Amino acid sequence: MSPLLTSLFASYVLILLKAMQQLNVVGGHYKMVIPFSYGMAAAEVAIVINIVAVGWAAVPWIGTGAACGAVTGMWLHRRYIR
Mean pLDDT of the chain: 93
- Please give the Cα distance from 75 to 23 (Å, whole number): 11
- Please give the Cα distance from 2 to 61 (Å, whole number): 12
**Residue 73 and residue 15 in contact, taking contact as beta carbons nearer than 8 Å:** yes
Give residue 81's pLDDT band: very low, low, confident or very high (50, 70, 90): confident
Residues 20-45 pLDDT 10s = 999 999 999 899 999 999 999 999 99
**Residue 5 and residue 53 in contact, taking contact as beta carbons nearer than 8 Å:** no
